[in-house]
Amino acid sequence: MLHSESKELIQVKKLIDVCKLDEAEKLIKDFEEKEGHTLYDIVLCRLLKCELLGERGLFEDVFKLGEKTYKKSLGLGKNLLSVDILLIMAMALLTLGQFDKAKKITKEGEEMLNTFTEESSVEYRQREVPIALLNGWNYFNEGNIDQAIKQFEFSISLREQLNIKQERYVSLLLKYEFLFYGIAWTFMGKGDYDRALIYSQRGITHSEESGYKSGKGSLLFLQTILRPSIDNLLQ
C-alpha cells in the first residue's frame, strides 16, 4: 500500500542527509506536537528519530526507540518501514558489540523483505543494499573474511546499479562512506593493506564530494591504522 508522506518529514530526511541535525531535531519536535497524524507518519517520524540518534552516536537510544517503533509499525500491515526499522536496530547492535543479536535481527529483516512480492521493484532492491552491508559485518565478526568481502562488494555494486541518492530511509546504512569503511576494514583484517587503503580513499573522496563529515572522520581514522602497517611491509 502506498502512503503519502508529509512535507515536514520529507524535509527532516533531507536535513539528516546533509547532517543539519539540530534543524532536523527541531522540525521533528514541531511535527510531534501537532495532532491528527496517520499511523504511517508516526512510524516514519520515529524511524527518522532513530536515524538522527544514530548520526549523534546514541546507539542504545536507537535500539530502544527502534524496538517500540517496530511494534507500532506492525499495525501498518505489510510495509517496508518495518524492514527499515529492523535494519537500523541491527546496525545499532553491531555498533554496541552485540553481534549475535545483530545477526538475528538482520535475518528477521531479510526474511521479512523476502515475503514481499514486488521483488523486482527498486523499493525492494534498495533494502538489499543495507542487508548485504549488515551481513558483511556479521560474517566479519564470525571471522569469515571472504564471505564478508563478497557481501560488502555486493552492497557497493548494487548501490551503484540502483543509483541510490540517499532518498530512502536508513540512510546511515546506504551511505557510501559506511560501505567503503566496511570493506576497507575487512581487507585490513585479511592483511591486504593496499586494497584496504584504496577502498578507504574511495570513501574519503566520496565523503568530500557529499559533505558527509562523520563518514570522512571514520575513514581517516582507519587510514591512521593502515599507513603504519603498509610502511612496515615496505621496510
Q: Collect all residues with Cβ–Cβ distance below 8 Å to 29 and sequence separation of at least 6.
A: none
Q: Are 137 and 182 in contact (CB under 8 A)?
A: yes
CA 199 to chain centroid? 18
pLDDT in tens, 80-110: 899 999 999 999 999 899 999 999 999 999 9
Q: Is the pLDDT of residue 231 over 60?
A: no
Residue 142 pLDDT: 93
Average pLDDT over residues 144-165: 85
Least confident range of 104-108, 113-117, 171-175, 196-200: 171-175
What are the residue ranges of helices labelled H in 34-79?
A: 39-55, 59-73
Question: Quick one: pLDDT band at residue 235, thresholds 50, 70, 90?
Answer: very low
Residue 1 pLDDT: 45
Distances (CA, A) of 215 to 35, 137, 176, 200, 205: 36, 17, 9, 10, 11
Q: Are 88 and 134 in contact (CB under 8 A)?
A: no
Residue 223 pLDDT: 76
Q: Which of 85, 172, 161 is nearest to 137 (CA)?
A: 172
pLDDT in tens, 40-88: 999 999 999 999 998 888 999 999 999 999 999 999 998 889 999 999 9
Q: Where are the domains of the chain?
A: 175-235
% pLDDT > 90, the chain:
39
